[in-house]
Amino acid sequence: MPAIQPQDLPLGSNGAMRFDAGRVSRPGASLFDPALHELDAVAVEQGGRQAAWFVQGGFGRAVLRHYRRGGLIARISSNRYIWRGAASTRSFAEFDLLSFMHAAGLPVPRPLAAAYWRQGLSYRAAILIERIEGVKPLAVQWASSDQAAVAGAIFSMHEAGVWHADLNAYNILLDEQGKAWLIDFDKGRRQSLHRKQRQDNLLRLRRSLLKVAGEQALPWWVELDRIYWQLAAANDHV
């Protein structure tokens, strides 16, 4: 698969975008506008905080996501973040992290484009990511999925030194062949992962599964946890 070719482009006087020149031949702010007829946008029903759409164009089939806040802080500002420089914007940081992971062969979608628009001391942002076809979230098919596939995907992510900020049952997708994919790396980061950080990710997934499926999902997670730590022991890292 061709390597990602990142390039930057100004978006007026207050914004910029980063895109994969190998996949995006017509970069511009219109790529991030779900109201644009050419994108044929369809709202994503699960997840995305009502700010994600399935779109398509010359770049192929993709998912467009506008960054939205959650929790109590969303009552103050639903889509604006404190400006700390272009490299620190949520969109550019996620694009760069996904580029690293994709190049490493990890099971993540290919990033296509990311953008930010600054206003004073704050900014808003959006990202365009390749759509993985024929997938369903772990939340709706955990009972029929293979714990080894999911544990292996999480372990490979950790071995590459990537920490997922929100490893929940909707951010793990299973395709028709049973392969596990990891998505939504907003606020994710590269770091040296010790046992506690690894366990915290797994426990977050546990809480998510129990929330969507109840106690019946606990034995499934226990087996996933066992397989994960078996992989860790075999690699003598923790």
Q: What is the distance between the alpha carbons of residues 238 and 229, in angstroms, rounded to a whole number?
A: 8
Cβ-contact 169, 142 below 8 angstroms: yes
What's the rounded Cα separation, in Å, for the pair 177 and 72?
A: 39
User: Collapsing DSSP states into helix, strand and coil, what is residue 225?
Assistant: helix
Question: Of 71, 137, 67, 73, which Cα lies nearest the Cα of 95?
Answer: 67
Six-digit token string for 203: 């426990």
Q: Which amino acid is at 118?
A: R
User: What whole-number distance in Å separates Cα of residue 235 and Cα of residue 238?
Assistant: 8
Residue 166 annotated among the catalytic residues of the structure? yes
**Main-chain phi, psi angles of 139, to 5 degrees:** -55, -30
**Alpha-carbon span 132 to 102, nearest angstrom:** 13
Both tokens assigned to 99: 């580029």
Catalytic residue among 33, 146, 166, 225: 166
CA nearest neighbour of 113 among 95, 101, 125: 95
Q: Which residues are catalytic?
A: 166
